[in-house]
């Protein structure tokens, strides 16, 4: 397994070892000891699937005060996946990294606790799988505008299909400080 740093502490792209031949392929999508040795959490408590159609944009979502870390992968299709550091006190506050995840490239994106996460679908449909470090709590669910001009995320699309929650999301600068996670330490 190979990990690629994004330039933001803790935010990693993971390239698992894929064993393939004419019959198909095999890969480990999670092995606690191996991933923990690479700097990822040793424990996840929830597993989610999300299917979306072409042009769908989801995010930028986060949970506070019980932030979730996520290990994201695409089982079908292709997405542009984004994470934004929203940890108060972080030297990378407001910085983002994006990566293309697909069923073909087998990449995973580790989004640590304290980051907002979103994606846009680049294929006809996409099936995402993600492991979470904490359970989802609807009362702590929060969102930041995917197209916040201060973040200047270079999305591969200009518009997309959004939920009402995502289309009405505030800019990061409009979120009260006490509604954002703090950098650990």
Q: Residues with catalytic annotation?
A: 61, 130
Whether the CB-CB separation of 111 and 8 falls below 8 Å is answered with no
Q: How far is CA 12 from CA 19, 38, 84, in A?
A: 22, 10, 12
Residue 36 sits at φ, ψ, to 5 deg, of -65, -40
DSSP state of 40: S
Listing DSSP states for 98-111 in one string gives EEEEETTT--EEEE
Distance CA 128, CA 160 (A): 18
Whether the CB-CB separation of 174 and 81 falls below 8 Å is answered with no
Whether the CB-CB separation of 18 and 103 falls below 8 Å is answered with no
Collapsing DSSP to helix, strand or coil, 23 comes out as coil
Q: Residue 177 CB: number of other CB atoms within 10 A?
A: 7
Adjacent-strand bridge partners of 170: none
């Amino acid at each position: 397994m190979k990990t690629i740093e994004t330039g933001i502490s803790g935010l990693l792209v993971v390239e698992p070892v894929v064993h393939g031949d004419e019959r198909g392929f095999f890969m480990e999508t999670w092995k606690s000891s191996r991933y923990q040795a690479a700097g990822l959490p040793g424990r996840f408590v929830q597993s989610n699937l999300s299917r979306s159609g072409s042009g769908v944009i989801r995010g930028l979502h986060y949970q506070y005060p019980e932030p979730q870390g996520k290990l994201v992968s695409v089982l079908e299709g292709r997405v542009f996946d984004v994470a934004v550091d929203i940890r108060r006190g972080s030297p990378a506050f407001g910085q983002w990294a994006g990566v293309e995840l697909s069923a073909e490239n087998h990449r995973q994106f580790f989004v640590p606790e304290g980051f907002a996460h979103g994606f846009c679908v680049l294929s006809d449909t996409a099936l995402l799988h993600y492991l979470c470090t904490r359970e989802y709590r609807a009362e702590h669910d929060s969102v930041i505008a995917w197209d916040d001009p201060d973040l200047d995320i270079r999305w591969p699309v200009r518009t997309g299909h959004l939920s009402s929650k995502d289309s009405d999301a505030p800019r990061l600068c409009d979120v009260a400080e006490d509604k954002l996670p703090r950098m650990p330490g």
